[in-house]
């Protein structure tokens, strides 16, 4: 994209932010690749290292061996636990500080929006959060770091300390429904915002990808910032195929000039 064209789109998007009364930001894997987290399908992504079948809820519940593999993934840690927010995450957090952001709806499980400074109660995680474990029986939730510290020396798979149920990473596996309360809240805000900004999502994974469509159908402006085209480009008001970090940094600077 030519520099003049890019800058023109950024100025136009900044004007939308300045005049908006309620902004919802929708994020996908593309916002976190700049923090060193590969998306699931790219070279180096999780599907190149593990069998997707091990991420079905049916196999997780029925196979102790699969649960052992999952525990080993957590023990290895690395990409998600060590990742830091990038310029795009920090710009989204700054929109909240400026009083322009209603909420973030994210497909990501990396906790980077909260780490960047967004209020946890304004981040709706449609696919869960990899930094926690949840008991499949009683619902108790544990920080991964706390359980790793306790069980790593034992070389044993942990279970729930309350009911001894199976502990599972608190993310959505294949075959599981999205968290219905989270989805309901995300949909509520999407249908009531006047601007939705999509950052780093291919908008092909449903039902999450319906959120921007709900916003547009309810009268909101739609800005899509993504390296590649998406199925929603035809309904977007502004499309910016460029680096999320660079665009969001410039967009924030331009916005501040008019606030």
Angle at CA 79, nearest 5°, toward 76 and 82? 95
Q: Which of 19, 89, 113, 127 is catalytic?
A: 127
Q: Tell me the longest C-alpha to C-alpha distance in the chain.
A: 61
Structure tokens that stand for 58 in this block? 């049916």
CA 109, CA 181: separation in Å to the nearest integer?
17
- Catalytic (active site) residue 19: no
The whole-angstrom distance between residue 24's C-alpha and the CA centroid of its chain comes to 13
What ranges in the chain are assigned the alpha helix state H? 3-19, 57-62, 64-76, 79-82, 87-97, 112-116, 144-151, 180-190, 210-217, 244-258
What is the set of active-site residues?
A: 127
């Amino acid at each position: 994209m030519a520099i003049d064209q890019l800058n023109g789109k950024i100025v136009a998007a900044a004007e939308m932010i300045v005049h908006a009364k309620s902004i919802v930001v929708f994020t996908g894997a593309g916002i976190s690749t700049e923090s060193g987290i590969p998306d699931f399908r790219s070279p180096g992504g999780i599907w190149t290292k593990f069998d997707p079948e091990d991420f079905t809820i049916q196999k997780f519940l029925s196979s102790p061996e699969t649960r052992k593999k999952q525990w080993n993934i957590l023990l290895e840690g690395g990409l998600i636990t060590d990742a830091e927010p990038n310029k795009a995450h920090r710009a989204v957090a700054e929109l909240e500080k400026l009083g322009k952001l209603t909420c973030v709806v994210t497909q990501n499980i990396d906790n980077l929006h909260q780490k960047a400074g967004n209020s946890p109660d304004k981040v709706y995680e449609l696919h869960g959060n990899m930094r926690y474990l949840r008991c499949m029986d009683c619902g108790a939730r544990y920080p991964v770091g706390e359980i790793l510290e306790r069980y790593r020396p034992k070389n044993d798979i942990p279970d729930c300390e309350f009911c001894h149920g199976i502990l599972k990473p608190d993310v959505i596996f294949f075959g599981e429904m999205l968290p219905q309360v989270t989805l309901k809240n995300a949909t509520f805000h999407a249908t009531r915002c006047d601007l939705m900004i999509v950052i780093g999502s291919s908008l092909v994974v449903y039902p999450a990808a319906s959120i921007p469509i709900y916003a547009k159908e309810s009268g909101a402006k739609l800005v899509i910032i993504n390296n590649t085209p998406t199925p929603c480009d035809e309904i977007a008001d502004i499309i910016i195929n460029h680096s999320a970090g660079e665009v969001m940094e410039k967009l924030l600077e331009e916005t501040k000039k008019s606030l």
